[in-house]
Amino acid sequence: MEAGQAAPATSLEQARQEFPALRDNVFLDAACVSVAPRRASEAIARFLEMAALCPSRSATLHHIAMDEMRAEARPEIARLLNAAEDEIALVESTTHGLTIAAERIPLERGDRVLLCDLEFMQVAIPWVQKQSEGIAIDVVPHREGRLLPEDVAARMGPKTRVLVLSSVQWSNGFRCDLGKLGALCRERGVWLVVDAIQQLGAFPIDVAATPVDILTCGGHKWLNSPFGAGFLYIRREAQARLRPPLRGYLSVETPEGGWGNYFQTPSITPVRDYRFVGGATGYEIGGTANYPGAIGLAASLRLIHELGQQRIAAHIQSLTDHLISGLQTLGVTVVTPTEPQHRSGIVTFSMGSPQKNLQMMERLLDRKVLVSVRYTSHVGGVRVSCHFFNTQGDIDRLLETMEEGNKR
């Protein structure tokens, strides 16, 4: 362990102590924007101190050190997905990653893109804009809040080129059968683009076992890294089929002797043949990037790895079981599909009307129980996010507050 780094967390209770926001709030809204663990804010503070003092011998070495610190996020992300590092690009957000996918998948006039009517708007926005280029969108209607593989298969046609979806739906927490959908896309020769921001950090995705072409995820929700950094996974076999990116100078292969030596060479000239790095990193900005965001993301991911993704998923499943049982006891309508294989960290419920849902949210917020109200295509209600730092006591506090409100 390096100087200044947090001691490894060996229990969920120990990990909970890293979140100072939990002292005053029952925080059940990671699906909106999560709170950061102390280790992430401290890692950024150390970086900012370094940025202020420039401890390196020269500014050139200082810059190289910052690039190296940012790059430490990449192996942590690869471990999260069971991917190779050359399949990972550091990007600003899920939005950034989805935009890259829309720009670089080779489409022609008349090609069609498939998505579900439950999606968060950013999943659709890049493809909506491509309609001006002759790209068409086909919408798969949800079935009682579910996106089913058979409904996707029925909507796929000979001109379908891309299926873009969220692995977990933001308004009701439905977790799709990514394995079946991936196999379907592979069989039909369709690109599979996945927005995983409402899943990763709560429930794992193993890209070595699940056929996904492109996956993107921001750090600010279930990865507990609200610092404007995320990642893009591009399956190695898919990279050669993408349109090549416009690259920056840091996408150029490191010259012999390193960049410091290169910039001191009198004969260098800007107009020449360049050799670029391979892999997904070529889709990064290729210049000075968001150092604090990547550093915070790496620190938050280390906490997830210390706890273990399977352990986190089991804990969240236990919390959502308790919550759903409590809601049913109160006679409240559970909007989230309850089949275990389709569950996530999100549980959405309805008090009977949009107005009553807003009233319940305000009552909970008044008691410092943080939740949201969210809808898409008339699916939604009061949304509760159960994460690894939550306890059964947090769920009981929410249920007790709801019961008190019903007695008035």
Average pLDDT over residues 369-386: 98
Please tell me the predicted confidence (pLDDT) of residue 9.
Answer: 77
What's the pLDDT tens digit per position in 287-345?
999 999 999 999 999 999 999 999 999 999 999 999 999 999 999 999 999 999 999 99
Integer Cα distance of 301 and 219 in angstroms: 9
Integer Cα distance of 200 and 305 in angstroms: 12
Question: Does the pLDDT value for residue 112 go beyond 90?
Answer: yes
For the chain, the straight-line distance linking the first and the last C-alpha, in angstroms and rounded, comes to: 54
Residue 3: pLDDT band (50, 70, 90) is: low
Residue 405: pLDDT band (50, 70, 90) is: low
What's the pLDDT tens digit per position in 229-274?
999 999 999 999 999 999 999 899 989 888 889 999 999 999 999 9
How many residues in total does the chain contain?
A: 408
Please tell me the predicted confidence (pLDDT) of residue 10.
Answer: 80
Question: Residue 124: what residue type?
Answer: A
Could you give the C-alpha distances from 245 to 106, 236, 251, 331, 401, in angstroms and in order?
12, 15, 10, 53, 52
In this structure, are strands 379-385 and 369-370 parallel, antiparallel, or unpaired? unpaired
Q: Which residues of 6-28 are buried (b: 16+ CB within 10 A; e: fewer)?
A: beebeeeeebbebbeebeebbbb
Alpha helices in 251-308 (DSSP H): 258-263, 291-307
Beta-carbon count within 10 A of 208 CB:
10
3-state SS, residue 384: strand
Integer Cα distance of 112 and 56 in angstroms: 52
Phi then psi for residue 217, to 5 deg, are -155, 130
Integer Cα distance of 249 and 127 in angstroms: 29
Question: Does the pLDDT value for residue 2 go beyond 70?
Answer: no
Query: What H or E segment, with its residue span, contains residue 113?
Result: strand 112-116
Could you tell me which residues are beta bridge partners of residue 175?
168
